Structure formats: structure tokens, C-alpha cells
Amino acid sequence: MPFLLLLPLRRLRVLLVLAGLAAGLTAILFVRCFALRDWWYALMLPWNLFLAFVPIPLTLWAERLALFYQTPKLKLAAVVAAWALFFPNAPYLVTDVMHLHWVPPMPLWFDATLLFGFALTGLLSGLVSLYWMHRLGRHFLGPKRADALLAAYLPVAAWGIFLGRELRWNTWDVLLRPHHLVWDALTRGTSLKALAMTVEFSVLIGFSYLAILALIHLNPRQD
């Protein structure tokens, strides 16, 4: 896309690394599936990884609207809301490890490493978009408000992972079946299991993000 040429070089490098990870893992996946004639992972992992990458262009779009154009606030809010809805798809990939199964003669560790690679790539892509969106919020709302919104959003995102993994709702169901989604979330999404998963993923995403911040701040040339 032409607007990618306008991005700082450091951001382009980040996107290239993530794209390289995704392409390499997908190539290994399809070679594995073709060799074993077992296509279950191929039907699931590439699609989930694609959804995990969606928040990145939404973040870039939000930045472009906010920084370069006289954009109506409602339009910008709609893009940010779309980002907030799609973001849980990134750490959601971590839950795909539940599908690990042994398919002889491939050693189990091969599939375990493959699933871990997809999960790591999805989580990293989400953390990158989270960092860029957080920076945008700190610029326009101020550090305190942006940090408070981030702290409030992470449990919501973690709960969204529960709704997707355990209750099998999709991001687009917010538009296609909103009443059913709300009812199911309020009736089945408030269990102890939901609470445990929400806390677990809040901690995972939160501390992973803090680790990313710590690594970024080691280099004063941030982007």
C-alpha cells in the first residue's frame, strides 16, 4: 500500500519482521500439512494469524486520520473502536495451543514449536499495535488518561478472548448478532471460568506489554 512508504524506517522494519515471521511459519505449516496429508492446522492457523494482524493497519489508519487530516471525531472514534474489537484476536492465538496433537511420524515437538511460533507472532503483532495506539492516546489525551484507558481496556480484551475461545463468538458478531452476543456474554460470560481466563490474559498481555516498553526504552530512538 502506498501509505506504507510514508512510515518511518523503524516501523517498516518492525512490519517486515512480523511479515517475515508470518510468511515463514505459514510456509512451514503448508509443507508439513502436505507431507502428512493432515490439513487441520492449515484451516485454522493462517486465518487466525490474519485476524491477529488486522489491528496494525487499523492503528496506522487511526494515526493517519488523527495526525494528517481534519477528521471528524466520530470517524476517528469508529476506527479506534474497530481496533479495540479486533485486538483480542492477536493474543487469542495463544489459546490455539489446545489443538496440539501428535500426527506420526512427525515428532510432537515439531507441531508444538509451530503452534508456539504462530502464538508468538500473533501476540507480538498485537503488542506492536497496542504500543502504537497507546502512544497515539498519550499524544492526544495526555499520559494519565491514556494509561488509565489502557489499564481499563486490557481486562475487556482478555474477556473478549474468553468469549471467542469458550463461547465461540466472532468479532463481527458485534454487528451481525449483537443482541444474542450481549445476552450470551451476560449469562455465560460471568462464570468463574470466565473470571479466571480474564485475569490470566490480563496479566499475560499487561506484563508482556510492560516488557516491550522496557525493551523500547533501552533505546532512546523510539518510534
Give the model confidence (pLDDT) of 146-177 as tens digits.
999 999 999 999 999 999 999 999 999 999 99
Q: What's the half-sphere exposure (Cβ side, CA atoms, 13 Å) at 93?
A: 31
pLDDT digits (tens, 9 = 90+) for 14-43: 999 999 999 999 999 999 999 999 998 999
Q: Does position 71 have pLDDT exceeding 80, yes or no?
A: no
- What's 103's DSSP letter? -
pLDDT-based confidence at 223, cuts 50/70/90?
low
Q: Does position 107 have pLDDT exceeding 70, yes or no?
A: yes
Residue type, 118: F
Mean pLDDT of 115-139: 96
Q: Which sequence spans correspond to the domains of the chain? A: 2-217
Supply the pLDDT for residue 46: 97
Q: Does position 220 have pLDDT exceeding 60, yes or no?
A: no
Gap between the Cα atoms of 135 and 158, Å rounded: 21
Please give the angle made by the CA atoms of 4, 58 and 212, to the nearest 5 degrees.
85
User: Does the pTM of the predicted model rise above 0.75?
Assistant: yes
Mean pLDDT of 85-107: 95
Q: Are 170 and 164 in contact (CB under 8 A)?
A: yes
Query: How high does pLDDT run on average in the chain?
Result: 92
Q: Which phi and psi angles does 183 have, rounded to 5°?
A: -60, -45
User: Based on the number of CB atoms within 10 Å of its own CB, is 138 exposed (0-12), middle (13-18) or buried (19 or more)?
Assistant: middle
